Structure formats: structure tokens, C-alpha cells
């Protein structure tokens, strides 16, 4: 395995100096819920989410310490979610063998998800369902933490559209280390609108959870060994893992593949591109499908962001390799590095005809907002205590007037990143929002299309998002998804009051 320079990212913003590593990628298990009507996908678009049939998916997740074999010579000690199906179809939970990543959970929009969460780790923790629109007391707010030996019962309806969501701990000040040690997993939501597209599935649908890690000579995870520097820049590793493993190349059929990408790194920003210069065909983002596919040569994916990508390999000869890479943001600012190599197998599968229109949803009208663009602005600012929002550190019970929203209303929030000098992916709990406007600084490449829960702020940017605060009242958080920033202390509460 190649060692890479962890610090070369200092030359540019946000960490793009890594070099090569072996990686792997995993086909998604075929989902076989026989509730919610999979049937033959019908042609056309605009079919609203099924709402499923409201099946009850009853699961158990346990956070525990264990040893995994990432390296051939010695086991690595990790923290990991392990799961068990209490009552659900087998496809609802798929364990990933031999690594630290939690099981893949799959549900349908409209299902009721019940998760009995038990903690066996020696530190307070709680699970947050990133991207889901659920009641405040189910959201894993830092004040809901449990101790070792305790249980938290989740029980909520899945309201979200089809998409790739994820679950991870959310105790304040300890989140970065817990995720780094291995506590994270994905939740895939399916719905009828997505079914109708007949997207590539089975061996042609791939999960890619991208993470970077640093290991010591004993093959153990090293966290914040770089002290204040790691805290300010966020924890960057020198090994890339995909789905919690190092593996080399992935053999695929010469046909259309669907890549479901999550940047679950603590801090690292990836500038994605194909090694042969083909454009990335993006069909979805954090909150599910776009209205229509979008093509980009390169694209920045910040921590917490997701991407749904189609790639048609039918033009690549058998035996040849195409790499998904992270490339420098500017000439001379580091070298490209491999995220995943795809080797063309002998088999050819039918080419998927990507529809010109994927689905229908409306832009949230500015007129729906109770405030005007720019009049509610949150400034991303470094202080002696670390990174902050508006110069304020996290206050477990505190919430300002500006952070108080009336239930049932829509607001426009601005993140102002004109003061400090590195990228911050800003995440808001609750419903998915839309990016209204990016008043851009010097850097391009962030992707704002579709429904989002995390938006990347590049130095000099101001970004305005429009968000509905409907259905769920209570205390939620918003924060930078560079987990070391969130821990120290770029997180604040917001209150949706009835
Ligand atoms: Cu993925 Cu509050 O976080
Ligand atoms: Cu979240
Ligand atoms: Cu940040």
C-alpha cells in the first residue's frame, strides 16, 4: 500500500494532495422487499413516492469494540455497529463482512423503522440518521446520548424520497473520534418513483463509502496525533478505504454501472473525475434523484455529501481499467489519486438508456419564505476556541433568536464564508433543502443541484439555501460536517417552535 503525504493538502484548500491507495467497492445486495410493490418498473416519470405500504422494519444495532483484519499481518481495533434483524425482510439489513462499517440498511419510503440501539462502547454516544426528516427526539441530538449498557429505542416513519442516507454517532465533542474508529453505516431508501426508472441494479449497483484513515506501525488507527493542526484542518488520513476495506481493482461488466457515493471521511474533500476524461453523469445527490441528469468533468464532494452517478463502460475494451480519481483543484496543487479502479470484464450488459427526465419536483418558491434572501446569515469564523458559527461555540441548551424558526414555515438561510480560508461542508438536520444561490468566491466545483442536506462552502463563498421547517418541532442542530470542526465547535442548535 502506498503511503501518501497527509499534509500536502495545505497547498490548496480542503485537502486534495493524496496519492494512491488500493480500494474496493461492493455491489449492493439485491433488495427484495416484497412489500411496497417492486413489480415491473413502469416507464415514464413523475410517479410520486409510493409511501410503501408502511411495513414495520424492526432492527437492532449495537455499538461495540472489535478487531478487524484490514492488514494481513495484524488486526486493527475498531468501534463498529453490528446489527440483527428482529422482524423485517432479510434485505433490510446486510452485514459487511470483515470490516468496521455498520450493516447496510434498506427500507422503502413510508416504512416504519424501529431500531433498538444498544451501546457497549465505553463513552457516551447516540445514533443520528443523517438526511432523514424525522421527529427531534428520534434525530440523535447530542443531548440524547446514552451510556455503555443503555438502550435507545428509535421508532419513526421514513418520509424521505429514495436516496442514500447514513447513520453515525452524534455526541458533542466526541463525534469525530467515534466515526473515525468505525461507527458509521448507510441507509438506503427506495421508492416507486425510483423503481419506475429501472436503474442498473444487482451487480451493476455499487455502494462506495469513501473514507481516509491513518494507521500507526502496529496497524492501529491514529486519531489527532497531529494535535492542534489536525483539529483545525480536520483529521486527514493517508489511506483510502472504500466500504471499510482496502481492496484492489473491481471487475465490472462492460455496461452501465450505478455508483452510489458517500463521502464519509471525517474531513477530506474529494475532487472527483474519471481518469479517461469522460464526464461524470450525475443523477442524484443527498436527498435523491435530480430532475434530469447533469454532466460535470470534475466535482467536489465534501464530507457528508452524496452522489448518485451513472457510468457507461460499453465503449471500454475488456481488460482495460478506468479509474475514479480525486484530481487537484488547480494545476500544480498535488497529484491525482485513485479512489477506485474499474477493470472491464468480459461480460457485456445491456446499455441503460438514461432518461432525459428522471423525476419531477418543484423548486421551493422564494415567495414561500418568511424571510428575504440574505437577511438571515451565519458567518463561518475561526476563533481562539476553534472554528465557530458567528463566533459562538456550541451551547447544549442555547439557541438564539436567529436560530428559532416557526413550525410550518419556510426560511432562507445564508452561510457566509468570506472570513476564513478552508472548505466547510455545512449540514442542517431535518428536511432536505435546496440551494437558492451561490455567490461565489474564487473556487468552482461545488455541486448544488437537487435536494441537499449538506452544502459545501468554499473560501470566499456565500451560499443561500431555502428550507421547509414543516412537520417536526423541537431542537435540532446544524454544523460543519468536518467532524473535528463540529466537535470544536462549529455546531449550533436550532429550534423549530410550535
Ligand atoms: Cu451527518 Cu449532524 O450529521
Ligand atoms: Cu445529519
Ligand atoms: Cu468546517
**pLDDT per position as a tens digit, 62-82:** 999 999 999 999 999 999 999
- For residue 95, CA distances in Å to 286, 322, 367 come to 23, 28, 46
Q: pLDDT value at position 117? A: 98
Q: Whose CA is nearest to atom 1 of ligand 1?
A: 130
Q: Which atom of ligand 1 is nearest to the CA of 140?
A: 2
Answer whether 116's CB lies under 8 Å from 87's CB: no
Q: pLDDT value at position 204? A: 94
Q: Is 356 left (phi over 0), alpha (psi -120 to 50) or beta?
A: alpha
Q: pLDDT value at position 97? A: 84
pTM: 0.91
Q: Which atom of ligand 1 is nearest to the CA of 130?
A: 1
Q: Which atom of ligand 1 is nearest to the CA of 429?
A: 2
Torsion angle in degrees (nearest 10) through CA of 33, 37, 42, 44: -90
Tell me how far the alpha carbon of residue 20 lies from the centroid of ligand 2, in angstroms. Answer: 30
CA atoms within 13 A on the CB side of 413: 25
Ligand nearest to the CA of 453: 2
Q: pLDDT value at position 6? A: 65
Q: Whose CA is nearest to atom 3 of ligand 1?
A: 130
Tell me how far the alpha carbon of residue 158 lies from the centroid of ligand 2, in angstroms. Answer: 15
Q: pLDDT value at position 19? A: 24
Q: pLDDT value at position 442? A: 84
CB-defined site of ligand 1, < 6 Å: 128, 130, 168, 170, 304, 427, 429, 477, 479, 481
Q: How many CB atoms lie within 10 A of CB 429?
A: 25
Tell me how far the alpha carbon of residue 333 lies from the centroid of ligand 2, in angstroms. Answer: 31
Ligand nearest to the CA of 480: 3
Tell me how far the alpha carbon of residue 15 lies from the centroid of ligand 2, in angstroms. Answer: 22
Q: Which atom of ligand 1 is nearest to the CA of 477?
A: 2
Torsion angle in degrees (nearest 10) through CA of 93, 94, 98, 101: -60
d(CA 417, CA 464): 11
Ligand nearest to the CA of 184: 1
Ligand nearest to the CA of 429: 2
Segments of the chain with pLDDT less than 70:
1-53, 248
Q: pLDDT value at position 5? A: 53
Amino acid at each position: 500500500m502506498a503511503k501518501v503525504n497527509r499534509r500536502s493538502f495545505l497547498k490548496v484548500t480542503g485537502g486534495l494532495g493524496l496519492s494512491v491507495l488500493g480500494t474496493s467497492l461492493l455491489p449492493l445486495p439485491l433488495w427484495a422487499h416484497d412489500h411496497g410493490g417492486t413489480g415491473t418498473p413502469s416507464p415514464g416519470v413523475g410517479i410520486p413516492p409510493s409511501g410503501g405500504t408502511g411495513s414495520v422494519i424492526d432492527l437492532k444495532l449495537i455499538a461495540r469494540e472489535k478487531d478487524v483484519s484490514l492488514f494481513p499481518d495484524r488486526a486493527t481495533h475498531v468501534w463498529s455497529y453490528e446489527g440483527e434483524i428482529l422482524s423485517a425482510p432479510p434485505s433490510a439489513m446486510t452485514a459487511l463482512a470483515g470490516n468496521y462499517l455498520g450493516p447496510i440498511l434498506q427500507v422503502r419510503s413510508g416504512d416504519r423503522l424501529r431500531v433498538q440501539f444498544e451501546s457497549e462502547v465505553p463513552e457516551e454516544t447516540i445514533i443520528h440518521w443523517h438526511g432523514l426528516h424525522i421527529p427531534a427526539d428520534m434525530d440523535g441530538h447530542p443531548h440524547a446520548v446514552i451510556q455503555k449498557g443503555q438502550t435507545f429505542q428509535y421508532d419513526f416513519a421514513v418520509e424521505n424520497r429514495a436516496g442514500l442516507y447514513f447513520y453515525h454517532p452524534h455526541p458533542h465533542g466526541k463525534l469525530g473520534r467515534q466515526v473515525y474508529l468505525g461507527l458509521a453505516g448507510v441507509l438506503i431508501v427506495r421508492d416507486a418513483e425510483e423503481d419506475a426508472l429501472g436503474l442498473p441494479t444487482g451487480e451493476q449497483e455499487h455502494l462506495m463509502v469513501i473514507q481516509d484513515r491513518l494507521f500507526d506501525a502496529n496497524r492501529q488507527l491514529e486519531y489527532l496525533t497531529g494535535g492542534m493542526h489536525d483539529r483545525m484542518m480536520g483529521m486527514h488520513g493517508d489511506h483510502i478505504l472504500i466500504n471499510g476495506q482496502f481492496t484492489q481493482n473491481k471487475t465490472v461488466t462492460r455496461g452501465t454501472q450505478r455508483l452510489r457515493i458517500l463521502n464519509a471521511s471525517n474531513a477530506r474533500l474529494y475532487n472527483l473525475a474519471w481518469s479517461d476524461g469522460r464526464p461524470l453523469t450525475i443523477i442524484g445527490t443527498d436527498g435523491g434523484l435530480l430532475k434530469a441528469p447533469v454532466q460535470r468533468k470534475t466535482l467536489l464532494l465534501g464530507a457528508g455529501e452524496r452522489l448518485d452517478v451513472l457510468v457507461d463502460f460499453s465503449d471500454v475494451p475488456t481488460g482495460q481499467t478506468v479509474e475514479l480519481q480525486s484530481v487537484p483543484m488547480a494545476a500544480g496543487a498535488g497529484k491525482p489519486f485513485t479512489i477506485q479502479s474499474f477493470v472491464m470484464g468480459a461480460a457485456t450488459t445491456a446499455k441503460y438508456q438514461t432518461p432525459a427526465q428522471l423525476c419531477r419536483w418543484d423548486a421551493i418558491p422564494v415567495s414561500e419564505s418568511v424571510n428575504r434572501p440574505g437577511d438571515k446569515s451565519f458567518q463561518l469564523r475561526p476563533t481562539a476556541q476553534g472554528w465557530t458559527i458567528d463566533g459562538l461555540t456550541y451551547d447544549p441548551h442555547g439557541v438564539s433568536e436567529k436560530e428559532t424558526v416557526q413550525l410550518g414555515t419556510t426560511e432562507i438561510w445564508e452561510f457566509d464564508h468570506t472570513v476564513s480560508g478552508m472548505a466547510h461542508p455545512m449540514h442542517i438536520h431535518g428536511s432536505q433543502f435546496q440551494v437558492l444561490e451561490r455567490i461565489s468566491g474564487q473556487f468552482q466545483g461545488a455541486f448544488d443541484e437537487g435536494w441537499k442536506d449538506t452544502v459545501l462552502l468554499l473560501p470566499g463563498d456565500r451560499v443561500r439555501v431555502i428550507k421547509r421547517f414543516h412537520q417536526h418541532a423541537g431542537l435540532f442542530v446544524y454544523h460543519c460536517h468536518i467532524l473535528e470542526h463540529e466537535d470544536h465547535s462549529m455546531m449550533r442548535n436550532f429550534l423549530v417552535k410550535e
